[in-house]
Amino acid sequence: MKSRIPVVLLACGSFNPITNMHLRLFEVARDHLHQTGTYQVIGGIISPVSDNYKKKDLAAAHHRVAMVRLALQTSDWIRVDPWESEQAQWTETVKVLRHHHSELLRYLPQEEGRGQGRAVSPAPAAVPELKLLCGADILKTFQTPNLWKDEHIQEIVEKFGLVCVGRAGHDLKGYISDSPILQRCQHNILLVREPVQNDISATYIRRALGHGQSVKYLLPDAVIAYIKDHNLYSTGSSWKGSSAPNSEGETS
Amino acid sequence: MQKTSSLEPMGLGPDNPGGARVCHSDQRRQGPGMESPQKTEVVLLACGSFNPVTNMHLRLFELAKDHMNATGKYRVIKGIISPVGDAYKKKGLISAHHRVIMAQLATQTSSWVEVDTWESLQKEWVETAKVLRHHQEKLEARGCEQQDSPVLERPGRKRKWAEQRSELNQKKTLEPQRKDVPEVKLLCGADLLESFGVPNLWKREDIANIVGDYGLVCVTRAGNDAQRFIYESDVLWRHQANIHLVNEWITNDISSTKIRRALRRSQSIRYLVPDLVQEYIEKHNLYSAESEERNVGVILAPLQRNTAATNSRTTTA
């Protein structure tokens, strides 16, 4: 039996705050990758953006990291990594990918150690692939002029790969055919259909919190408790301005 | 028919949810210690298969409560999940025992939503109107118990208060309900509202009963469609003041059908249902291709009952 390629999924974004939809992306992507028969997802990483990103209403990084940590308490395969959030400067997504990829290589298990864990095959340790996990809205932002450097898009898609989960109102195949770079690397872009439409945006949650409305069941209870304890998102951040990205786009 | 008739704000229309604080003409009669007289207490009752309960079901309660409270006329005090009995005979319906437990696990962290097993324990299928009546009568019985407390015997201020209350009650004998008893309303999605149009699924008199005597709180993304549906139905139109449409701005399409399908395909349902529910389903291996075949070929209980009734009327005519 052909051995599967081990994959780690990396999601970048504000996670302002993290929602059940973000968590679903991981679950849906993992199921899809396994179903192809080609991949074995061995881990997931959530990398909240640093405060230097300067997006409107961005809660402090340490809060956003803490909330992700709480949300992942009950997950046995996804973890939060604060490296990006701790950088003094804002870090381009491709650099975050490079960082985590080198970390993966550094901590690669030795050949003798294989076969004890949950490895699918007894073959020699394959180098895990690190793929950028994102929603359809990110793929769309590749089109926005000056938002991404072309060479970055190329490196992200060619060297790492994209796992893109479909969202209502987005034509994933269209975005790919609209971009020569993406079209060239189509084989490295995995499009995942999410049958359960779930448009829980962090913006919606912040607005609801600002209005004093309930957000229960849209994000984990532990995260809601944290938000209340630290009085985050209490002032109405309704329409002070759209979340227009000032540099690279990422999930709201 | 309108439950809030004595709570009409002065000078404003009866349906002005955003209007100023309501003025209660009886306010000066209320003594201290009474429930806030301006607001009608509401209990939201959701009937359904809950096969299984999902985050979407739970969201309905939260959205409905926020909406009703924001009108200024209501105060939602409780939510009830009432899973349907096995006699409903819907395809793929697993045993009520499990469905009740999952609903209980799902509401463990809720401070106001609970599960009621009365409906699920009945041997025969129970019409929704009867479930509403059951819960309304329970609330009224509890209200009576509080009424008959020995307050009347005490001297001084309390007696005066009790006398005022008995005056109030005499005035209210003509009304079907007392203001101080909470009102049960049926919480649902647009699919239930539109199911009123399915032949033989509902009795005409039950629909009138539900919207006339109780009220509907309907959470929907497609507000316009729901409004059109109400407009096109005489009985719904007549009681439209009792039908509260709640907007769900985000698409949250977590249907039980999709959950069951995902489970059959060994796909993850995490973050679509509460963790405890997901663990319970996994532990007991509740949903499979086999369980989905339950009741195949069996006629849904309401269709069976209502079609039989129609037939018997036809033959005796």
Residue range A204-240, pLDDT digits in tens: 999 999 999 999 999 999 999 999 999 999 875 444 4
The answer on pLDDT for B19 being more than 50 is no
Average pLDDT of the segment spanning B112-122? 98
Task: State residue A232's pLDDT score.
Answer: 96
What percent of the residues of chain A are helix, what percent strand, and what percent coil, each to the nearest 5?
A: 40, 15, 45
Choice between B252 and B183, residue whose per-residue pLDDT is larger: B183
Residues in chain B: 317
Task: State residue A204's pLDDT score.
Answer: 93
Q: Which amino acid is at B247?
A: N
Vertex B10, ends B8 and B13: CA angle to 5°? 60
A137, A251 in Cβ contact below 8 A?
yes
- Distance in angstroms (rounded) separating the CA atoms of residues B232 and B229: 5
Taking CB atoms and an 8 Å cutoff, what residues of chain A touch B250?
Answer: 199-201, 204
Measuring CA to CA, which residue among A123, A79, A128 is closest to residue A103?
A128
Taking CB atoms and an 8 Å cutoff, what residues of chain A touch B254?
Answer: 196, 198
Contact criterion met (CB < 8 Å) for B63 and A214: yes
The answer on pLDDT for A150 being more than 90 is no
Candidate from A192-196, B150-154, B205-209, B217-221 with smallest mean pLDDT: B150-154
Mean pLDDT, chain B, as a whole number? 84
**Dmax (CA) of chain A:** 57
Say if A203 is an interface residue toward chain B (CB within 8 Å).
no
Contact criterion met (CB < 8 Å) for A199 and B65: no
The answer on pLDDT for B4 being more than 60 is no
Task: State residue B167's pLDDT score.
Answer: 55
Task: State residue B315's pLDDT score.
Answer: 63
Q: Which amino acid is at B301?
A: A
- Distance in angstroms (rounded) separating the CA atoms of residues B248 and B273: 18
SS3 A248: coil
Task: State residue B155's pLDDT score.
Answer: 52
Average pLDDT of the segment spanning B46-64? 97
Distance from CA of A37 to the nearest CA of B (A): 14
Q: Which alpha helices (DSSP H) does A14-141 contain, by range?
A: 20-36, 61-71, 83-86, 93-106, 136-141
**Dmax (CA) of chain B:** 70
Question: Would you place residue A75 in the very low, low, confident or very high pLDDT band (cuts 50, 70, 90)?
Answer: very high
Measuring CA to CA, which residue among B159, B212, B217, B213 is closest to residue B188?
B217
The answer on pLDDT for B10 being more than 50 is no
Place of tokens 């025969």: B124
Q: Which amino acid is at A142?
A: F
A195, A9 in Cβ contact below 8 A?
no
The answer on pLDDT for B149 being more than 80 is no
| Residues of chain B contacting A, Cβ within 8 Å | 55, 58-59, 62-63, 65-66, 109-110, 249-255, 258, 261-262, 266-268, 270-272, 274-275
Distance from CA of A208 to the nearest CA of B (A): 10
Residues of chain B with pLDDT > 90, as a percent, come to 68
> Exposure string (b/e) for A119-158, b if CB count within 10 Å is 16 or more?
beeeeeeeebbbbbbbbbbbbbbbeeeeebeeebbbbbbe
B284, B98 in Cβ contact below 8 A?
yes
Task: State residue A193's pLDDT score.
Answer: 86
Question: Would you place residue A138 in the very low, low, confident or very high pLDDT band (cuts 50, 70, 90)?
Answer: confident
Taking CB atoms and an 8 Å cutoff, what residues of chain B touch A199?
Answer: 250-252
Average pLDDT of the segment spanning B203-222? 95
Measuring CA to CA, which residue among B291, B293, B309 is closest to residue B301?
B309
Candidate from A151-155, A160-164, A194-198 with smallest mean pLDDT: A194-198
Contact criterion met (CB < 8 Å) for B109 and A221: yes
Contact criterion met (CB < 8 Å) for A195 and B270: no
Distance from CA of A75 to the nearest CA of B (A): 10
The answer on pLDDT for A123 being more than 70 is no
Structural domain spans, chain A = 5-107+127-230
Distance from CA of B117 to the nearest CA of A (A): 23
Crossing angle of helices A221-229 and A61-71, rounded to 10°: 150
| ipTM exceeding cut-off 0.90 for this assembly | no
| Beta-sheet strand order (sheet of B40-48) | B113-115, B74-83, B40-48, B183-189, B216-220, B243-247
Cis before residue B155, ω within 30 degrees of 0?
no
Task: State residue B86's pLDDT score.
Answer: 97
Question: Would you place residue B15 in the very low, low, confident or very high pLDDT band (cuts 50, 70, 90)?
Answer: very low
The answer on pLDDT for B270 being more than 90 is yes
The answer on pLDDT for B137 being more than 60 is yes
Contact criterion met (CB < 8 Å) for A216 and B262: no
Give the containing element (helix H, strand E) for A78.
Answer: strand A78-80
Average pLDDT of the segment spanning B206-211? 96
Q: Which amino acid is at A33?
A: L
| Residue in A with minimal Cα distance to B263 | A31
Which CATH number, 3.30.1370.30, 3.40.50.2300, 3.40.50.620, 1.10.8.60, labels domain A5-107+127-230? 3.40.50.620
SS3 B44: strand
The answer on pLDDT for B158 being more than 90 is no
A31, B274 in Cβ contact below 8 A?
no
Best mutation target among A217, A218, A223, A252 (most B Cβ atoms within 10 Å) is A217
Q: Over the stretch A29-72, which tens digit does the pLDDT of each residue have?
A: 999 999 999 999 999 999 999 998 878 889 999 999 999 999 99
Task: State residue B312's pLDDT score.
Answer: 80
- Distance in angstroms (rounded) separating the CA atoms of residues B4 and B12: 13
Candidate from A142-156, A166-180, A222-236, B118-132 with smallest mean pLDDT: A166-180
| Residue in A with minimal Cα distance to B249 | A204
Residue A88, exposed/middle/buried by CB under 10 A (0-12, 13-18, 19+)?
Answer: exposed
Average pLDDT of the segment spanning A154-176? 87
Contact criterion met (CB < 8 Å) for A196 and B258: yes
Question: Would you place residue B311 in the very low, low, confident or very high pLDDT band (cuts 50, 70, 90)?
Answer: confident
A46, A68 in Cβ contact below 8 A?
yes
Contact criterion met (CB < 8 Å) for B268 and A27: yes
Best mutation target among B109, B254, B271 (most A Cβ atoms within 10 Å) is B271
Place of tokens 């989905």: B292
Task: State residue B8's pLDDT score.
Answer: 40
- Distance in angstroms (rounded) separating the CA atoms of residues A219 and B271: 8
